[in-house]
Copies of this chain bind each other. A is one copy, B any other.
Amino acid sequence: MIRVLVVDDHVLIRKGIVLLLENYKDVQVVGEAGDGAEAITQAISLNPDVILMDVSIPNGLDGFTATQEIHKQMPNVKIIMLTMHNEVAYIQKAIAVEAHGYILKNSQGGVLYEAIRTVYSGRIYYNVGIPQEQLNKLFEHKGHEEQCILTVREQEIMRLTVLGYTNVQIAGQLYISSKTVENHKSNIMQKLDLSNKAELIQYGLANNYM
């Protein structure tokens, strides 16, 4: 019996997944969580075999960060990222936090079960909408890429930039000079290896800086 913890902030979706998994006799949903913090406490108290983790869960602690934290404390738990996005930035991040699986919310129900079985047996299951070669490359480059963690200030700048505010408006809101905003922006771009504004925005959108 594979013991599963389901993490998603949308109750309806969570319940749906739970019901979907009830069809499989060797899978048992032992708990549910609605945000990152809850996911961590539930993981510790329930000690599941597999965690289904939605990426974009609210309250600061996103699915990736929660995954990292759980890995630290319980290295044997397998974690499958569950998301609507198949953007490369997401997949990269899933690889970086060493998620064992990655599936899209618009996969067929069987994929979910397959993913659970696969990661439970210790293998990797990435069902993504990009070519296999590209995926391989992302795995190879895993170690090479830096942490890419933005500072608090950079996160603020990112958020306000995604929301379409001009440098001057951002500067006004944060009581700093627009030149400082510019600097933060270019630091962010350098850190994340982004080469233009569109990539910056799309990274921000993909990572829920809104």
Interface, chain A (partner B; CB < 8 A): 9-13, 15-17, 19-20, 22, 34, 82, 84, 104-109, 112, 162-166, 169, 196-202, 205, 210
- How many copies of this kind of chain does the complex include? 2
- Which residues of the other chain, B, contact A15 by a CB distance below 8 angstroms? 16, 20, 109
- Which residues of the other chain, B, contact A164 by a CB distance below 8 angstroms? 162, 197-202
- Which residues of the other chain, B, contact A165 by a CB distance below 8 angstroms? 197-198
CB within 8 Å for A112 and B12 given contacts A19-B19, A197-B166 = yes
A15 to B9, CA, bound (A): 18
A36 → B minimal CB distance (Å): 15
CB within 8 Å for A20 and B11 given contacts A198-B166, A200-B164 = no
A107 to B11, CA, bound (A): 6
Q: Please give 7 more A-B residue pairs, beta carbons under 8 A apart, in addition to A10-B105, A12-B16, A205-B210.
A: A12-B105, A12-B107, A13-B16, A15-B16, A164-B199, A164-B201, A169-B198
- Which residues of the other chain, B, contact A200 by a CB distance below 8 angstroms? 164
